[in-house]
Amino acid sequence: MGASPEILLTILLFAMSCVLAFPEAASAKHAGITRHYKFNIKLKNVTRLCHTKSMVTVNGKFPGPRVVAREGDRLVVKVVSHVPNNISIHWHGIRQLQSGWADGPSYITQCPIQANQTYVYNFTITGQRGTLFWHAHISWLRASVYGSLIVFPKHNVSYPFAKPHKEVTIMLGEWFNADPEAVISQALQTGGGPNVSDAYTFNGLPGPLYNCSANNTYKLKVIPGKTYLLRLINAALNDELFFSIANHTFTVVEVDATYVKPFETNLLVIAPGQTTNVLLKTKPIAPNASFYMLARPYFTGQGTFDNTTGAGILEYETSSNSTTFTPTLPPINATNVVANFTRKLRSLANSQFPVNVPQTVDKKFFFTVGLGNSPCPKNQTCHGPNGTKFSASVNNISMALPSSAILQSYFFKKSNGVYTSDFPSFPLRPFNYTGTPPNNTLVINGTKLVVLPFNTSVEVVMQGTSILGAESHPLHIHGFNFYVVGEGFGNFDPNTDPKNFNLVDPVERNTVGVPSGGWVAIRFYADNPGVWFMHCHFDVHLSWGLRMAWIVLDGTLPSQKLPPPPSDLPKC
């Protein structure tokens, strides 16, 4: 027998009142929810390698707290500074569609948050899911101010692989016994290379291969016959890392929060700013052994670097761990191993996760990226090359950061004295980029930007140089993912190399390594209005000026325009 009209009406009214009272319950499967976090920036005493120091942290944690969301959610993060340092937070890899004010790089999209000030980062995660991270974006504070940002798929949307037994995040970092702020401050003053870190860390722990660190070891406990999803993040300051687990292989399924065609490997290469998700299948029967997980640098430059090895331990819960196996890692300068790894990365490029790589290009750029030098100021002794100061540049322009924020200057049309929009599309003085360097390696200092009309299809070839040594440069672009359509060694040939570009299933990333002594080509659509930083993710090169910025103009539709800044945007 059916319910009476009165009962049906009562049920309907009750259901409607529930929806009005709890709208997120109705919309959770579709629109996403708002998640609130509070970041208290505070000093905390931390001890590693028997050295105790006071360092800048979020909520007293090192690494900082994990931020979790689903695709479509809005994040509202209130940052309150209780430290004397200026600070800002970057949400690395988040596109920030129409929320460029929340991107975070100091003097690019905002003035830094000063002592006892507050700023609320408010943004929606649109069309993204996967492993990302957040970090400080001023000077070298990200050495201790960083944490994971895990974006799960929408409700009822599965991974494009079998659901793992468990998910584990491993953040690779660097520990300095000294204060990193003092390290870079001294280096910029003397013009020499900065002192290097003292250890690599797994989730903040250096591991048993360092003095005084047996108790500071990250241990991953697993059970036999299961599949684990490892979310690996390279949050190190200045080092690309090889990563391997003894006697185990991985299946790579995602990089930089985009799915890739799965492939098996026993070795990963992860540059600072990059993330990699892998499936780890444990052995069917627990062996009587444990297994080192090692992280060690890949480096080809001429300077000094931290030549140590960070270690964690993989343990089976039921085994006695009588032996510990060690993986074999490639030589420090194994450039071919790196190239072989990166060339395996391909987008899924299927109906659920299609690629949108520009097939034709409106605007082409050719950028040299590498080191250079600046003259030593009068009455000063400098420790850089031949008594000069180390510098770094894009197209030989070393970017000077202004004393106010570029995005505000652009938005309110007050660019005068802040920046100019004449960044060169090609090198002003062409030379044999990967051959014998030119006699004059002095850089030009300036704050020059590129202006792009909305939705321009862009191709950028980034050419490494051999000036002061060929080395890899992990280039990160804010506000965009891009497709890596080609890479090679030597000098890029505009006549022959584009014929080999992959426009079918190129990998999609937010940070790409420019090969040591080579080039990489990327394409993207400039579909995000605002001012977007592009820089080397080695903080030493960033500090030396290997950085530039793009202005993307508004489109015609309301959804293609940058809204005005929030009222609490910090002032310089």
H or E element at residue 242: strand 240-245
Predicted confidence at residue 153, as pLDDT, reads: 98
**Residue 153, SS3?**
coil
Map tokens 């903040």 to a residue. 204
Residues whose CB is less than 8 angstroms from the CB of residue 204 and which lie 6 or more positions away in sequence, other chains included: 48, 62, 63, 171, 173
- Write the burial class of residue 303 (CB in 10 Å: 0-12 exposed, 13-18 middle, 19+ buried): middle
Q: What pLDDT score does 113 carry?
A: 98
The neighbour count for residue 188, using CB atoms within 10 Å, is 16
Q: 64: exposed, middle or buried (C-beta count within 10 Å: 0-12, 13-18, 19+)? A: buried
The answer to whether the CB of 91 falls within 8 A of the CB of 102 is yes
Query: What's the CATH fold of domain 34-152?
Result: Immunoglobulin-like (2.60.40)
- The pLDDT value recorded for residue 322 is 82
Q: Residue ranges of the domains in the chain?
A: 34-152, 166-343, 363-560
The DSSP line for 486-545 is: EEEESS--TTTGGGG---SSBEEESEEEEPTTEEEEEEEEE-S-EEEEEEESSHHHHHHT
Contacts of 352 (CB under 8 A, 6+ apart): 160
What is the sign of the dihedral through the CA atoms of 379, 381, 386 and 390?
Answer: negative
**Alpha-carbon distance 80 to 63, whole Å?**
17
Cα–Cα dist 140/59, whole Å: 18
Spell out the alpha helix ranges (H) of 355-418: 406-411
In this structure, which amino acid lies at residue 307? N
Whole-number Å distance between alpha carbons of 16 and 23? 10
Residue 84 structure tokens? 């004397």
Block means of pLDDT (10 residues each) for the chain, 572 residues, are 48 43 42 96 98 98 98 98 98 98 98 98 98 98 98 97 98 98 98 98 98 96 98 98 98 98 98 98 95 98 95 91 93 98 98 97 98 96 97 98 98 97 97 96 98 98 98 98 98 98 98 98 98 98 98 97 98 96
Contact 276, 509 (CB under 8 A): no
Tell me the whole-structure pTM to 2 decimals: 0.94
What is d(CA 10, CA 243) in angstroms, rounded to the nearest whole number? 61
Question: Would the CATH topology of 166-343 be identical to that of 363-560?
Answer: yes
Range list of β-strands (E), 26-129:
34-48, 51-58, 67-70, 74-81, 89-92, 118-124
What residues contact residue 523 under an 8 Å CB cut-off, 6+ apart? 357, 358, 361, 457, 458, 459, 460, 482, 483, 485, 506
Question: Strand (E) positions, 375-510?
Answer: 389-394, 397-399, 444-446, 449-452, 456-464, 473-477, 482-489, 507-509
DSSP of 283-301: PSS--SEEEEEEEEEE--S
Beta strands at 258-265 and 250-255: parallel, antiparallel or unpaired:
antiparallel
How confident is the model at residue 30, as a pLDDT?
61
Angstrom distance (rounded) from CA 44 to CA 390: 33
Rg (alpha carbons) of the chain, rounded to whole number: 24
Q: CA-CA distances (angstroms) from residue 533 to 37, 369, 446, 537?
A: 25, 15, 15, 11
CATH T-level topology, domain 363-560: Immunoglobulin-like (2.60.40)
CATH of 166-343, one of 1.10.3720.10, 2.60.120.590, 2.60.40.420, 2.60.200.20: 2.60.40.420
AA letter at 506: P
Q: What one-letter code names the amino acid at 527? A: D
Closest CA to 449 of 107, 137, 184, 136: 107
* CA dist., res. 90 & res. 533, Å (int): 11
